[in-house]
Amino acid sequence: MGAERQGAGGVAGRAPAREKSTFAVTCSLLSQYLKEKKGGLEGLGGLGMSPPPPPPAPAGAFRPPTTMNLLSALDAPAAEEPNDAAKATPEEADGHDQQTAENPREAAAGEDEAQPLTIFYGRKVVVFDKFPPAKIKDLLQIANAGGYGVDRAGASAAPPSSQNSLSDMPIARRNSLHRFLEKRKGRITAKAPYQSSSPAGADASKQATGDKNSWLGLGQEVTVVKQEI
Amino acid sequence: MGGEVPGPRLLSRALSFGGGGGVPEEALHLVFGYVDDPRDREAASLVCRRWHRIDALSRKHVTVGFCYAVEPARLLARFPRLESLALKGKPRAAMYGLIPEDWGAYAAPWVAQLAAPLECLKAVHLRRMTITDQDIAVLVRARGHMLQVLKLDKCSDFSTDALRLIARSCRSLRTLFLEECIIDDKGSEWLHELAVNNSVLVTLNFYMTDLKVEPSDLELLAKNCKSLLSLKMSDCDLSDLIGFLQTSKALQEFAGGSFSEVGEYTKYEKKLDLQYTLLTTEDHCQIIAKCPNLLVLEVRNVIGDRGLEVVADTCKKLRRLRIERGEDDPGQEEQGGVSQLGLTAVAVGCRELEYIAAYVSDITNGALESIGTFCKNLYDFRLVLLDQQKEITDLPLDNGVRALLRNCTKLRRFAFYLRPGGLSDVGLGYIGRYSGNIQYMLLGNVGESDNGLIQFAMGCTNLRKLELRSCCFSERALAVAVLQMPSLRYIWVQGYRASPTGQDLLLMARPFWNIEFAPPSPENVYRMMADGQPCVDNQAQVLAYYSLAGRRPDCPQWLVILHPA
């Protein structure tokens, strides 16, 4: 079982070694955990099964793995449409996917009941008939902690709901700006006193720069913020 | 093509340039030396065999727009004395995380077949290609003594080891450009070696890379390279640069670091890039108000309509305006977001605009009409309608886009990315009918049905490169549309009514037309990018292009080549 999980990366051959991901480790930990817990063994007929034949996808339709659905359903079961996050459309589902797509609905309805869980990883599919919902959050935390960006991938990989509305493709972000905005999220908390959105902070930072500029002896020609003459 | 017998009317003209009297070869060479524009060169090379040969021997620079369109050997055969080569690889969509890392665009065959035989080669520019340390070693071994310009532009798969080799071996290097490359950082010695070995460097750019360097090496570089005019670097702290900035005498251009502070500005500023700053709407207003001579302005949409009004009032000479997409969740940028108000103001105020690219939150036909009315010099217009706001003031944009296209007669590049309902089939037909001399288009979420696409295609006589995304068209309609566009040589599509095999695309099969299909697949969701980020899309993709090279020999296994079979 462990052997089946390890090396099950979905990455084509050119991936560098560092991408032997924590998710692979997580999956093997998960299988170990479930072996230990008797309750979790119930209905774990899916564990170790060879992957089911992929369902014939309707042209242009794709449903993402439901990790994202489950997370949103657990966080906001009552108010929000749990489909918002990943925009799955259960009405499109056929057999196998019917089960997974309806998970958010079921999870919203009865959080205490063990639910079916499907994990897509690399080229393998694992199905758990009854996965305890209390452990879902743990699992997702572990997965997200791997820095895999699952949330983002899930949110962005919104499938086309039908052949008529391919509008569910989000507008893709430019890599450079995306990296900048991600870095900024960390930076804003780090440089709290110099937050440019607060007037006091902005004045303070401007003054500090003015001082630095004069100390540096910079003339008017060379200035500090990204600009070109 | 050269070699065809000219018609009777032209025969006498041809004879006057031909053998046995007429213009001597040397004179023709001299004249050709003054012809730089590639379009002029292309035209000249088609006059007769002689001119074709002279062009081939005297052409200094070639840009290969798509690396799979031609084989290196053919390029070498035609242009043996090339001095400067530019190669573009991955589709533009790679800049948006939509192309998996193992897609291709390998520099290896080019370097292997061209680096040594092109004895005059001194400038190399690769854009969106995959190049390894070994490839760079081959290039450097062959051309290092002569190399003056090396630009690796959004490339990946190499490390700082290669940079060390370049630094040691390319002592004539004037330009080292590495912007937005994914580089395996094994240490900062490369910069030290560059500083020690090079004294003629003019431009160094490792902007938007994650390379870590030592401030002392920067200072050494400034000291040894007296002609360093431009440095754009990766993130750093201002305090680390003090030594460098004090030492560099000739520096005119600088970018880098994580500046949130606002510097001093002069009224002579011509270019301003605020895309990677933490400035507020108010900051933008204050800065721009001091820059009446601005020619180029690049910002995020935090600039807001208010900031654009300042631009309109102040920057009367503005030629290029780019308004990028900032954070979707306003948070820090409450006043941000650009709409028809800001765009109209800019159109009215900045009549010299040649390039406008804007991510807008709202739009009207009127704003587009204003742009058409006032911005007569526009050659590149790109509009993306963001999807945050539910209600857009004025859709569809049929009339506005028609007015813009009819009035901006110099338009050559055009992008229009909307949402369902943003443009009807009639509007899409307008784009075709009034496409004029537009050579490149990106269209997203346009039209209502296949009819719109066909109407569009029938109008696009000069369109050479087309990108389509998130559209409702069928595979069959796509193929038929391609056949209607006589100048089309490259089309990229993602998000359409794809079949699992792409078989309807074969309707457009024809000689020299390569058709590549990436089937929709859940596995693609987790395909990794070089920087560790997942490739975000899983839709089917189509790439079709004219090629003299036949089938790609280096496809990843998930890519299906439909034609040639």
What are the structural domains of chain B?
Answer: 35-258 (3.80.10.10)
Q: What 8-state DSSP symbol labels residue B124?
A: E
Which residues in chain A are closer than 8 Å to B495, comparing Cβ atoms?
160, 166, 169
A198–B contact, CB cutoff 8 A: no
Q: Do A178 and B208 touch (CB under 8 A)?
A: no
Chain B residues close to A16, C-beta within 8 Å: 184
CB contact under 8 A, A165 and B534: no
Average pLDDT, chain B: 91
Tell me: pLDDT of B264 over 80.
Answer: no
Q: Residue B418's pLDDT is what?
A: 97
Partner B contacted by A173 (CB < 8 A): yes
Q: Please give the pLDDT value at position B4.
A: 59
Structure tokens that stand for A49 in this block:
């099964």
* Pairing state between β B380-385 and B413-417: parallel
Whole-prediction pTM: 0.73
Chain A CB within 8 Å of residue B238 CB: yes
Residue contact A179–B259, C-beta within 8 A: no
The 3-class SS string of B520-534 reads CCHHHHHCECCCCCE
Considering only CA atoms, give the Rg of chain A: 24
Beta strands in B490-540 (DSSP E): 490-494, 513-518
Q: Is the per-residue pLDDT at A61 higher than 90?
A: no
**Candidates B203, B538, B554, B555, partner chain A, best to mutate (most A CBs within 10 A):** B538
Question: What would the two tokens of residue B509 be?
Answer: 């099969």
* Residue A170, pLDDT above cutoff 80: yes
Confidence of residue B386 (pLDDT cuts 50, 70, 90): very high
Asked if B227 and B200 touch (Cβ cutoff 8 Å), the reply is yes
> Which B positions 66-125 lie with beta carbon below 8 A of chain A?
93, 95-98, 100-102
First to last CA, chain A: 62
The answer to whether the Cβ–Cβ distance between A15 and B522 falls below 8 Å is no
Closest approach of chain A CAs to the CA of B247, in angstroms?
Answer: 11
> Average pLDDT of B126-135?
98
Q: What is the pLDDT of residues B308-351, one digit of tens each?
A: 999 999 999 999 999 999 988 766 556 679 999 999 999 999 99
Q: What residue ranges do the domains of chain A occupy?
A: 113-144
- Residue B293: helix, strand or coil by DSSP? coil
Closest by Cα among B139, B131, B215 to B170: B139
SS in 3 state form for chain A?
CHHHHCCCCCCCCCCCHHHCCHHHHHHHHHHHHHHHCHHHHCCHHHCCCCCCCCCCCCCCCCCCCCHHHHHHHHHCCCCCCCCCCCCCCHHHCCHHHHHHHCHHHHHHHCCCCCEEEEEEECCEEEEEEEECCHHHHHHHHHHHHCCCCHHHHHHHCCCCCCCCCHHHCCCCCCHHHHHHHHHHHHHHHHCHHHCCCCHHHHHHHHHHHHHHHHHHCCCCCCCCCCEEC
- What was the ipTM of the complex prediction? 0.87
| Strongest mean pLDDT among A78-82, B5-9, B41-45, B127-131 | B127-131
pLDDT by residue (tens digit) across B18-63? 555 577 888 999 999 999 999 899 999 999 999 999 999 999 999 9
Average pLDDT of B130-142?
A: 97
Average pLDDT, stretch B99-104?
Answer: 94
